[in-house]
Amino acid sequence: MKATIIIASHNGCDLLARSVPAAVEASREAGGHPVVVADDGSTDDSIEFLCRTFPEVVVMALPRRGFGATCNRAVEAVETDAAVLLNNDVVVTPGFLQPLLEHLAQPDVFAVGCKFLNPEGSLTDALGNCTSGVWRGPLLSIRHETRAEPLDHTCPQLYANGGGMAFRPNRWRALGGFDPLYHPFYWEDVDIGYRAWGRGWRVLYEPASVVYHDQGSTMKRLHPAAHIELMSAKNAVLFTWKNLLNGRLFRRALAAQARWAADDVLIGGLPPRLRALQGALRQLPQACRARANEQRERLRSDEEIIALSSGGG
Amino acid sequence: MPPIDATGLLLTFARRGEDDAIRQALGRLRVEGAVSVISVGTPVSAPVLSELGCDEVIIYGDGRNARAAITDLRRRRLAMAALIYSDASYAGHLKLEVLALLSGAGWVQRIAPGASSAISRFSLAASVLAKGLSACALAVIGTVICTAAFVCLTLRQTAAGGRRAHRP
């Protein structure tokens, strides 16, 4: 199976200098797979650097649209049976590709996630491994496995971290790709994973596909921490509004979200939750359309999605 | 009336990165004459607080136990309290301020990154009142937003039908 390796990037010339050679080498070792850098309107030397240093890499110079839209544009152009999405701060290891592609040969697998290690090779606070979720309080509470032993086995997971995931482009397109509801960033990978489970497909974690991830290194230099937290909180709310179709759980979650706003005063030091709710409210028409679509397309209940995707925990 | 105990109360959410503030608060309480320092924490934060130098941690886990913790604090007739805030605006932290007020501590110190000051019981009561009203206002606005969202989203979901029954 041929795969297109897509590296999404914005103003990450120095990060590409580390991630692209590793991807090119892994591609060569696996028999030659196209490597594409989807550039999201960079204003640094990224494009010039790539053209000069890696002539074998295809560069898609796209206007600035944000992470999700850039990934969608890149996947639209994929002609291979599989695609691998990487962040520009992810450095792959030799042999990472084949274990991912083997799972995609199964008819019900939508995506497979890599094993993410910190740049120094540890699992401390590593995100995106054996992910699972539970509807608790106002939002979906996500758990990332960080213990070594459970991470030695392939297992189902709620979603594959968008920083290192392989998938079938035809299924990506059937799901509509990353939802622009989550512009500018965060929760789009959780959303597509949850929706894939809802359509009857599976998402897996593959420990043999090891990558090093300097988590959030791009985001931290582009946006202030408070803005990142606010966008993450807003999108967490929108995720609930769009995807939680179970009436009882939905009523309970929204009642908790109403109280959640007061926590800014009750406990302080958290992202301003009322602003997150206001931001979500501005996108309510979009969320309504997305929820209606989920209602039409969903084949599994929320309880089934959570239960089936928690196989690694 | 029993004598006022030379015990200091340390109140913090014990978040990540607050270790230095906790050490600073402990030092301040001891400078002010606290012979021992107690704190109120959860089963998760208690070991951290003990490790940093609190002599005793009263553990609470839910609303009922929080009430028991307040009763316990009042019984001890504490001399002083130190509150640790996340930032210099002294925003938020209504729960900790209520606890400091209800503990009956005669002297209260606010400790925040780059800003620390003593606060009188009257000012603390005023702060609790103002923040209580703010929390109520936020909860009301949150309820309005969530109710509007619930109605719109549920109506659209109902109208959409579905391949399989997921009735709202």
Partners of B161 on chain A (C-beta within 8 Å) are: 295-296
CB contact under 8 A, B93 and A267: yes
Token couple for B163: 């391949």
Question: Which residue, B96, B98, B76, is CA-closest to B86?
Answer: B96
**Which amino acid makes up residue A165?**
M
Report d(CA A310, CA A255) in Å as an integer. Answer: 26
Long-range contacts of B121-130 (CB under 8 A, 24+ apart): B124/B97, B124/B100, B125/B101, B127/B90, B127/B97, B128/B94, B128/B97, B128/B98, B128/B101
Mean pLDDT of A121-130: 92
Partners of A298 on chain B (C-beta within 8 Å) are: 162-164, 166
For residue B112, the model assigns a pLDDT of: 84
Mean pLDDT of A202-228: 89
- Is residue B1 pLDDT above 50, yes or no? no
Termini Cα distance of chain B:
60
For residue B167, the model assigns a pLDDT of: 47
| pTM to 2 decimal places | 0.87
Token couple for A235: 């999108």
Residue A60 β-bridge partners? A38
Q: Looking at the complex, report in whole angstroms how far the Cα of residue B36 sits from the nearest Cα belonging to chain A.
A: 26
Report d(CA A164, CA A92) in Å as an integer. Answer: 9
Partners of A284 on chain B (C-beta within 8 Å) are: 148-149, 152-153
Q: What is the DSSP string of A151-188?
A: GGS-EE-S---TTEEEE-HHHHHHTTSS-GGG-SSSSH
Partners of A270 on chain B (C-beta within 8 Å) are: 92
Percent of chain B with pLDDT over 70: 90
For residue B117, the model assigns a pLDDT of: 87
Band of the pLDDT at B14, cuts 50, 70, 90? confident
Q: Looking at the complex, report in whole angstroms how far the Cα of residue A26 sits from the nearest Cα belonging to chain B.
A: 38
Q: State which residue of chain B sits closest to A279, comparing Cα positions.
A: B145
Percent of chain A with pLDDT over 70: 98
For residue B76, the model assigns a pLDDT of: 84
For residue B63, the model assigns a pLDDT of: 59
Token couple for B65: 């136990």
Band of the pLDDT at A262, cuts 50, 70, 90? confident
For residue A312, the model assigns a pLDDT of: 52
CB contact under 8 A, A295 and B162: yes
Report yes or no: B92 and B64 within 8 Å, Cβ to Cβ. no
Q: Looking at the complex, report in whole angstroms how far the Cα of residue B39 sits from the nearest Cα belonging to chain A.
A: 17
Domains of chain B with bracketed CATH: 5-125 (3.40.50.2000)
CB contact under 8 A, B152 and A289: no
- Is residue A143 pLDDT above 90, yes or no? yes
Beta strands in chain B (DSSP E): 5-11, 36-41, 56-59, 78-84, 107-112, 115-119
Query: Please, what is the average pLDDT of chain B?
Result: 84
Of the two residues A221 and A84, the one the predictor is more confident about is A84
- B-interface mutation test, from A124, A246, A263, A266, most B Cβ less than 10 A away: A266
Sequence length of chain A is 313
Report d(CA A287, CA A280) in Å as an integer. Answer: 8
B10 secondary structure, DSSP code: E
Query: Please, what is the average pLDDT of chain A?
Result: 94
Token couple for A96: 């990472």
For residue A33, the model assigns a pLDDT of: 96
Q: Worst-scoring range by mean pLDDT, A167-171, A218-222, A299-303?
A: A218-222
- Is residue B116 pLDDT above 90, yes or no? no
Report d(CA A105, CA A229) in Å as an integer. Answer: 37
- What are the pLDDT digits (tens) for B19-76? 888 888 898 888 888 889 999 888 888 888 999 999 999 887 655 577 787 888 888 8
* CB contact B23 to A (< 8 Å): no
